[in-house]
Each structure stands twice: as structure tokens, then as C-alpha cells.
Amino acid sequence: MNRRFVLLTGCSGGGKSTLLEAWNERGFATIQEPGRRIVAEEMAGPGDALPWVHMKAFARRAIEVAISDLEAAQFLNDIVFFDRGMIDAAVALAHSGGPTIQEILGETLIYERRVYIVPPWRQLFAEDAERRHSFDAAVQEHHRIEQALDSLGYLRRELPKVAVQERAEIVLQECGVL
């Protein structure tokens, strides 16, 4: 079983997808953010599970996708980088009136203990067709994620606001793969 699951999370619009792309270009296994994939599918289909239409349905679907991603990643060798995942989905579901984060995730750490967080970075943030919330809403979500990580026993490592390649190098060095 692969236990080199590294989670990248934090503020929406903080550069996570770009960072994941940089690792992918270097040949590392990466798992794209469940939320963006769900929004793209929903916008092409019924639209019932869009976060701005029905947040609880969206969050439940994000948990399903994150579970599927984790199951698929078990068969990948070496380190796997995740753009968001189960914790983010659990935070969204709890915030929308679902079960608590602990009820959803239990006691076991899913990802490596050190989780990488991108901080709020207004210059990178942009609303688009798939991201319809404000920067302030993104910052509030960021704080909920940080609180969840703390309560679950993860160690937060906030990445500096530097160029994507420098961020990528920091994480790869700290993960021992450079």
C-alpha cells in the first residue's frame, strides 16, 4: 500500500493547480482537485451538485471522488501529490450542515502528516466560471481547512509566496525526492 500521499491544500486561487502541474511535468504522480472536476461535469450536465447551487450535494460528491482518487492512488508507485482531497471535502460537508469532520474522516491520517498549504494570495486569485466565490469567502474556507488540519493532527507547512518552481523545489526537497 502506498503511503506517500502528499496533500496540497489551502486558499482557493492560491496556486495549487499550477504547482501540481509543475510536479506532473517532472514526472511525479498527481491527482487533480475533485471540486474542479465535479464543477466541470456538473456544468456539462444537470448542475445539481454545483457548490453555488447545492453545497451539501457538491461536498458529498467531492468525498466520493476523493475516495475514488485514494483507491486509485494505492496502485501508483512512489510519491503521489494531491490537489485538495478528503480533508477539503469533509470541511465543505461539515460547513454545509453535514456530519463533523471527525465523523467523516475518523482517527487515521490519510495523507502524510506534513500537509502543504498555499496561503491567501490576492494577486493570484481570480473568479471564473468554475470559481464563483469571492476572495473573502476563499480566505474563510482557508481558515476552516487550517482548523481541520490542526484538529486531525496534521502538521501544516505554509508555502511562501514565491514563484511556482521555487515552491515546487521546496516541497520536493522536504519530501526527500530531490
| Alpha carbon distances (Å) from 147 to 40, 67, 143, 151, 160 | 28, 22, 6, 6, 19
% of the chain at pLDDT higher than 70? 92
Closest of 99, 105, 93 to residue 149, by C-alpha: 105
Helix (H) or strand (E) holding 145: helix 135-152
| Residue range(s) defining the domain that contains residue 30 | 5-174
pLDDT in tens, 90-134: 999 999 999 999 999 988 889 999 999 998 877 766 665 565 667
SS3 75: coil
Q: How many domains would you assign to the chain?
A: 1
pTM score above 0.85: yes
CATH number of the domain encompassing residue 66? 3.40.50.300
- Packing angle between helix 86-95 and helix 34-44, nearest 10 degrees? 60
Look at 132 and 152; give whichever has higher pLDDT: 152
Tell me what pLDDT residue 66 has: 93
pLDDT in tens, 68-91: 999 999 888 789 999 999 999 999
Confidence of residue 42 (pLDDT cuts 50, 70, 90): confident
% of the chain at pLDDT higher than 90? 59
